[in-house]
Structure 1
Amino acid sequence: MSDLAQLTPTILWQHFAKICSIPHPSKHEEALANHIVDWAKEKKLHVERDAVGNILIRKPATAGMENRKSVVLQAHLDMVPQKNNDTEHDFEKDPIQAYVDGQWVKARGTTLGADNGIGMASALAVLSDDSLSHGPIEVLLTMTEETGMDGAFGLQPNWLQSEILINTDSETEGEIYMGCAGGVDCKTNLPLSREDIPAGHQLFKLSLKGLKGGHSGGDIHLGLGNANKLMSRFLFANAESLGLRLLSFNGGTLRNAIPREATVVLSLPAGNVDRLKQAISDYLSVIKHELSAVEKNLALVVEPTECGLKALTADSQSRLIGLLNASPNGVIRMSDSVKGVVETSLNLGVVTTDQDQAQVIYLIRSLIDSGKEYVADMLISLGQLAGAQTSAKGGYPGWQPDPESPIMSLVRDSYKKLFDTTPNIMVIHAGLECGLFKRPYPDMDMVSIGPTITGPHSPDEQVHIPSVARYWQLLTQLLKSIPERN
């Protein structure tokens, strides 16, 4: 963490280092929230929390700027907890081990939490820095954005007093976001039946690992490998010919992260073990060739194992493998209205099996509601064919672009003045909370900006140090330039 303290802007990086030191994975943000509330009280700032735990902090305008429009700086409190298979880390207890590597800040074997920790740190830095010029400021820190947008769903009208909201959850410096995709979760539950493992079978654990993973919205168009899809493809191609019997299938950990690993336990006749190893080698060659441009560390490892479960019956096994192999995944349609942006996609994020059932969790994203409905209906139909029950829940709206947005125009003009280049005005396929904020605050003018973060939702996450400095320049210039109230 001492490395971070040497970076500039110092006040922002000091806050980020403190955020990294306090565990705050989704649904476990309370320690960080308590720290921030106590800090705000020590600073003599107005601070309160609502019924769902969101934090609101207010800072008065600097002298002479009391008549400027009030601005909300918004970030979410939680981070995505993902780690490499060989990394020992308890996200509920251990601090993030952040370090500087050239022009980047990274974490040792885990997600960094720059998504949205840098945005949160920038908001706290604005509250800290009394040398800045600004009108009235509100800072809104929301709960559990990554696993359901709980804080945004729970935000009540008449709590915020501002006319403008600056969301800090974007991940490409030089791009201004004025719209985003909505999303919905789909869960498929498939009943399983089991029977004794046939005599003469040997048990093996087959692990697919080494994939990059990534953000299921922002990275979905990159063609990255999905461990659940790759594993089910192997099983579909080889289960019958090798006499494989499936005992368990577990892959992925989060519905909004492209799964990096999947593991199955299987049995097969002892005489077919060498054929299994050859099939694994052949399959690995095929998928390494197919994914050679994007996946450099793909591995498929088989080893003897033990398991207390019985084997799936032939019918259950066929239904489960068929369901996973036939499941759509990735980009469904590109947008016609926003060139180069994904319109609709889904991520087959998590597969788990227990004694009696398999559960498959998908996250569907779309810029249009009909796109979400289409893919959800596709999954429901597929579930029906497999004898499974599929339900959609937790839907949240997209943020519809407003090309006439005054704050978007101000950000664009401020960026051009600062850096002598015109930023890209974008719609992002990831889910930002702005669409949900529009429900209680339909007239609030919103924009989203941020530094450059690559590999979010994966242990490859990193934030570009020079982009953080440019983002801070833009943010502080914006606050200085906010117009007066009408």
Structure 2
Amino acid sequence: MKPDNYPVEPAHLWEHFYQFSQIPRPSKKEEAVRQYVVDLAEQGGHPWKLDEAGNLVISVAASSGREDRPTVIIQNHLDMVTVKTADKDHDFESDPLVLEVNDGWLCADRTTLGADNGLGAAAAVAVMTDNSVEHPPLELLFTVDEETGLGGALNLDASLLSGTLMLNLDTEDWNELYVGCAGGGGWQFARTFSTEPALEGSECWRLSLRGLAGGHSGVQIHEQLANAVKLLAECLREVPGLRIGAIDIGVAHNVIPREGNVEFLCPAGQQKLLQDKLNTCISRWKSYLPEADLGVEAQLESAAAKPALDEVDSLQLLDLISAWPHGAQSYSLAQPADLVDLSINLAVLRLADGELFLESSYRFFNDEQSLPLQQSVLALARAFDLEVTPDVGYPGWQPDFESPLLAQGIALHQKLFDFKPEVKAIHAGLECGILKGKKPDVDILSFGPTIRGAHSPSERLEIATVTPFWQYLKGLLADI
């Protein structure tokens, strides 16, 4: 059900976004939301095609008098990141989102909102369904599986597209135009440890961490948000007789881990020492963590005894976590200080029945600059006997500040809003880099309304930026 104060204008855009929010659309399971878009295309008489990867292209004829103008591709992805708080009962494969409006922001009840990139996708559908929008011939490209590795774009059949201009609606700062994005890659690591049953006289504890902000491992990596993997490992340092039994931290390669659990064994009688150490850690963290992370909480509770690693392997696992790089590694010398050139995210760590799984991803503008970081990570993998499975990488989108489409976009923004937009590159893996590689002749511009907290349950969309975003999109389409 829509909240009472759900926005109403622009009507087509907000209605389509609401419908998107009611259709589960995790990565790799976009069939239902794609069918929603296809049904609308068929109702309007617009032909559509699917490629083998599941990407959808809808052809929309030009408005009267604009038939001879160049074809414009409007590009968005259909899937969303699926993250919730521990206390929220929500199944992302079957449950609709519960929307809320708070102080001018649209959000969801303790889950991701899916404004990344659902708002852009809704705008593209609104262009198709709102007959008042004037536009040239359009190709609406809806990709799949963006959030788990840009799989849809990587496997796109580019022969479905003829346009040489592209508008990507997947950035998150209104009044900013983007002409470049980071590339990326990553790895999955595995190792099998021997386990031993709980020793007589030992106790089993579960340490849980909650209340961190988490967030997008690209656009928020410079904010120095805490990583739950690192903090939980820090808590376990110097625990006498520590034997780690289980770990469950993190959700996806592109999400800074915000919560998790570790189960461990130690000699009986250590509860006060453990609690004191935990209190000391919390106090220390709050002395330097950013404001968004100051809600951090940790809980220590007894757990059922289970087989665990021995003390040597447990210490080695903590050493691995401590040595693993995480965060911004270098900053751009040409752009503002918050533009990161190179970063890495220690994203997921799991241990169950002696089977270790670790996932980490990195982002770059210059692939050559990332080579020492890659070598460092692979050296750690060798030193700690980890099996390595590389993830499929993706290219960056090198900025083109001489782009004719950019010049047109700047001029229109100045005309509509009486000031020039900022022109930037973004430290995130937009699909633009991949699409540029598949269609080198395409001129790309990316923009969007303001979104904060993407990839976390605090994701929110600034409602006041949506109307000017829509006005700007319509203006560009009318001018091209």
Who is 2:12 aligned against? 11
Residue of structure 2 in register with 1:470 after alignment: 468
Partner SS state of residue 194, structure 1: coil
1:101-138 deviation per Cα after TM superposition (whole angstroms, max 9, x unaligned): 23111100100000000000000000011111111011
Aligned residues: 478
1:461 aligned residue: 459
Name the residue aligned to 2:310.
313
Comparing 100-109 with 285-294, greater Cα deviation is found at: 285-294
CA distance in structure 2 between the partners assigned to 1:15 and 1:157 by the alignment: 26
- Aligned to 1:105, the other structure's residue is in SS state strand
After TM superposition, give the deviation of residue 49 of structure 1 in Å: 0.8
Say which of 321, 326, 332 aligns to 2:323: 326
Aligned: 1:231 with 2:232: yes
Indicate if the aligned counterparts of 1:380 and 1:391 stay in contact, CA closer than 8 A.
Answer: no
| Structure 1 residues 57-96: aligned runs within 5 Å | 57-96=58-97
Is the counterpart of residue 381 in structure 1 residue 352 in structure 2?
no
- Provide the rounded CA distance (Å) in 2 between the counterparts of 1:185 and 1:360: 11
Q: Matched residue of 2:79: which SS?
A: coil
For residue 393 of structure 1, what is the aligned residue in structure 2? 391
Q: CA deviation at 1:186?
A: 1.6
Q: What SS does the aligned partner of 1:243 have?
A: coil
RMSD of aligned C-alpha atoms? 1.3
Give the equivalent residue in structure 2 for 1:161: 162
Q: Give the TM-score of the pair, scaled to structure 2.
A: 0.97
8 A Cα contact 2:245 2:352, kept in partner? no
Aligned to 1:339: 336
User: Does the CA-based 8 Å contact 2:224-2:290 persist in structure 1?
Assistant: no
- 1:198 deviation in Å? 1.7
Comparing 342-351 with 99-108, greater Cα deviation is found at 99-108
CA distance in 1, matches of 2:190, 2:60: 49
Residue 281 of structure 2 corresponds to which residue in structure 1? 283
Give distance in 2, aligned partners of 1:299 and 1:39.
Answer: 46
**Matched AA of 1:329:** H
Displacement of 1:306 in angstroms is: 1.2
Query: Matched residues in 1 for 2:348 and 2:390: separation?
Result: 15
Distance of 2:462 and 2:371 partners within structure 1: 37
Tell me if structure 2 keeps the 8 A contact 1:223–1:294.
no
Q: Is the CA contact 2:451–2:460 (under 8 Å) kept in the aligned structure 1?
A: yes
* Cα distance in structure 1, aligned partners of 2:218 and 2:7: 33
Partner of 2:113: 112
Structure 2 residue aligned with 1:433: 431
Deviation at 1:163, TM superposition (A): 1.1
Q: Residue 368 of structure 2: which of 366, 370, 376 is its match?
A: 370
Report if the CA contact (8 A) 1:379-1:390 is conserved: no
| Shift of residue 424, structure 1, vs aligned partner | 0.4
Ranges in structure 1 where 5+ consecutive residues have no aligned partner:
none
Partner SS, residue 299 of structure 2: strand
Q: Does 1:269 align with 2:267?
A: yes
Q: Kindly report which structure 2 residues correspond to 1:439-450, keeping only aligned pairs within 5 A, or say none.
A: 439-450=437-448
Displacement of 1:411 in angstroms is 0.9
- 2:41 aligned with 1:40, yes or no? yes
C-alpha separation between the residues in 2 aligned to 1:175 and 1:117?
Answer: 19
Secondary structure of the structure 1 residue equivalent to 2:158: coil
Structure 2 letter corresponding to 1:393: D
Q: For 1:149 and 1:44, how far apart are their aligned partners in 2?
A: 30
Residues 184 and 372 of structure 1 are in contact (CA less than 8 Å); yes or no, is this contact kept in structure 2?
A: no
Query: Partner residue of 1:356?
Result: 354
Structure 2 letter corresponding to 1:202: E
Deviation string for 1:399-450 (max 9, x for gaps)?
0111111111111111110000110000000110011001220110001010
Check whether the contact 2:3–2:99 (CA below 8 A) recurs between aligned residues.
no
Tell me the residue number matched to 1:203: 204
Percent of pairs with identical residues: 38
Looking at structure 2, the residues matched to 254 and 59 of structure 1 have their Cα atoms a distance apart, in angstroms, of 35
TM-score (norm 1): 0.96
SS in 1 for 2:393: strand
CA distance in 1, matches of 2:135, 2:271: 70
1:418 equivalent to 2:416? Answer yes
* Paired AA for residue 77 in structure 1: L
C-alpha deviations, 1:213-239, integer Å up to 9, x for none?
01000000001110001111222x223
Once the two structures are TM-superposed, the CA of residue 339 in structure 1 deviates from its matched residue by: 3.4
In 1: Cα distance, 2:183 partner to 2:7 partner: 39
1:295 is displaced (CA, Å) by: 1.4
Q: Give the AA of the match of 2:206.
A: K
Amino acid at match of 1:40: A
1:121 lines up with 2:122 in the alignment = yes
Mapped contact 2:57–2:140 kept (Cα < 8 A): yes
Equivalent AA in structure 1 for residue 311 of structure 2: A
8 Å Cα contact 1:56/1:141 also seen in 2: yes
Structure 2: gaps (5+ residues): none
CA distance, structure 1, for counterparts of residue 111 and residue 7 of structure 2: 22
CA distance in 2, matches of 1:209, 1:398: 34
> How far is the alpha carbon of 1:352 from its aligned partner?
0.8
Contact 2:172 2:448 (C-alpha < 8 Å) held by counterparts = yes
Offset, 1:292: 5.2
Which consecutive aligned stretches of 4+ in structure 1 deviate over 3 angstroms post-superposition?
2-6
Q: Is the contact made by 2:61 and 2:138 (CA closer than 8 Å) also made in structure 1?
A: yes
> 1:5 Cα deviation (Å)?
5.5
Residues in 2 aligned to 1:388 and 1:49: alpha-carbon distance in whole angstroms: 39
Change (3 A) 1:5 1:41: farther
Retained in 1: the 8 A contact 2:3–2:101?
no
Shift of 1:6: 4.1
The answer as to whether partners of 2:309 and 2:354 remain within 8 angstroms in 1 is: no
Shift of residue 275, structure 1, vs aligned partner:
1.0
Contact residue 190 and residue 320 of structure 1 kept, 8 A: no
Deviations 1:379-410 (A, max 9, x none): 11112122223343211000011111111111
Q: Distance in 1 between matches of 2:460 and 2:124?
A: 20
Taking structure 1 as reference, are residues 101 and 365 closer, same or farther at Cα in structure 2, changes over 3 Å only?
A: same
Q: Give 1:170's aligned residue.
A: 171
1:78 partner SS:
coil
